[in-house]
Amino acid sequence: MYKFLKMLFLPLLLACLLLPALTSCGECKHKESEWVDEIEATCSVAGTRVKKCTECGAELDREQYSTNHLYEEGTCIYCDRTQYGAEFLEYREITLDGEEGYEVIGYGSSNAKVVEIPALRNGKPVLSIRASAFSNNQVITAVTFGKNVKEIGERAFYGCVALESVTFHENSEAALIGAAAFAECGRLKAFAVPAGVSNIPAQMLNGCAMLETLTLHGGITSIGESALEGCGAITYSEDGGAKYLGAADVPHLLLVEITDKSVTSFTVPADTRIIGTAAFLGCTALEAITLPEGVLSLSSYAFAACTALAEISLPSTLQSIGAYAFAECAALEAITLPEGVAHIGEKAFYKCVTLAAIQLPRDIKTVGIFAFLQTALTYTEWNGGKYLGNTENPYLVLVDTASGITALAVHDRTRVIANDALADSDCAAVESVTLGADVITLGAGAFVGCTALEELIFSTTEGWKVATVYGESKIGFMVEDSPWNAEAITKGELKGYYCYR
């Protein structure tokens, strides 16, 4: 009996176990759901999704899947990639220094936060960034320059308030950066000057309040006016009563500021190359300053208002004197500029009221407006022009004219017409100007005041070019291949330019 019951129980138990499944299969026709994510896919991570029966919940299908970038307002919500990158920038074809290539002229339809300026476009090099190309952009956080970029125009990245990073290729060919190119980039924390850039232009990093690190190199020769103004986070080294910014091999490259304005004498370190903007400004007790051979430039206001400074010996290596560099040095009586000095800035010797003797270098190239205003210098006058020079050539630079003249014939030995030399109401009657064959530079706005000027006569018309001036202390300039335009100067349309050959 027991054995019989046991045999009967086992089939009944099996039937009970199978009954729900048989009933389910018989009753549920399985309505397939849409895909349901178990793990949501992104543009970089595979996802897992399933389909289930909407009636009984049974899993009917399972798979892994991937997805593309999902853009909202131009940015991928997963990986922050920009929808329209650097390939959507605007370009134009140019020829720079005889090389054919491209210039970036604007942001175009790009919305890239990280902009990579390519080395090549359509097989040709990307050579430059146009002036104001990215000015006041609110999006860009980083920019990287390809190897072939040689020039970055004036105000190219001015006011890019989100810009945090600027990177140049390790073998960058960059040689020129325009004035205020990275000014008012308030989040920029570090900047390394490319090895080929010798001049830091006026206002280049002006207003970069968070800039902590400025990496220089030993080949830098000058720093323009207000280039680092408002960069209060920079850490300077201090040594012997002054602050410095240096390069790895030239620790005292830039003398930034004297820490004690009451000093009576100071010896500049032997490896200093640049006396910075306003470095000795207002050192009213300073009587003697020793500048070593190797100093290349005196920046704007370098020794301004050093009222006790009676004499100074300038090194033979000096190349430029910035705007107001010796302004109001009331005790300075005489000065000889070394033969290597090519540029004198605006009002460089303004109100040096006892300055009675100056020797200008024979190869001087530019002289800023009112460089010698309110001094005791005696001009050499000839045929209505007022000149300064040296013992060998007193007619080297035309700096002013006599009032009331109607015609001006510039002396045959004159090389430079100073900036705004005739920009004076006394020149309003000048109708004709004749330039001698030795003139190599027509200063910015040289004839702007000549409202009656009808005729410019050149002894030679070969080789003239136009150069942009980015401020009086700006020594480098952007050369344009266009020829000298006499009509434009006559109309006063080249006030921001000077012309040279």
pLDDT by residue (tens digit) across 325-353?
Answer: 999 999 999 999 999 999 999 999 999 99
CB 230 within 8 A of CB 222: no
Q: Name residue 458's beta-bridge partners.
A: 435
CB 387 within 8 A of CB 410: no
- What is the set of domains in the chain, with CATH numbers? 33-68 (no CATH), 79-235 (3.80.10.10), 251-378 (3.80.10.10), 381-501 (3.80.10)
Of the pLDDT bands very low, low, confident and very high (cuts 50, 70, 90), residue 30 is: confident
Radius of gyration for the chain, computed over Cα atoms and rounded to the nearest angstrom: 36
Is the pLDDT assigned to residue 248 strictly greater than 70? yes
Question: The sheet that has 36-39: what strands, in order across it?
Answer: 36-39, 47-52, 59-65
What is the model's pLDDT at position 483? 37
128 vs 94: CA distance, rounded Å = 9
What is the model's pLDDT at position 413? 96
For residues 372 and 453, the model is more confident at: 372
The string of pLDDT tens digits covering residues 439-458 is 888 887 777 777 777 777 77
What is the model's pLDDT at position 473? 25
What is the model's pLDDT at position 464? 66
Of the pLDDT bands very low, low, confident and very high (cuts 50, 70, 90), residue 395 is: very high
> Among the listed ranges 16-20, 91-95, 101-105, 356-360, which one has the minimum average pLDDT value?
16-20
What is the model's pLDDT at position 454? 76
> Among the listed ranges 274-288, 395-409, 456-470, which one has the minimum average pLDDT value?
456-470
pTM: 0.77
Place of tokens 């001094």: 375
The SS3 of residue 5 is helix
CB 204 within 8 A of CB 226: no
Is the pLDDT assigned to residue 41 strictly greater than 90? no
Of the pLDDT bands very low, low, confident and very high (cuts 50, 70, 90), residue 402 is: confident
Of the pLDDT bands very low, low, confident and very high (cuts 50, 70, 90), residue 300 is: very high
Place of tokens 């299908």: 61
245 vs 227: CA distance, rounded Å = 13
| pLDDT, the chain, mean | 85
Name the phi and psi angles at 444, rounded to 5: -60, 125
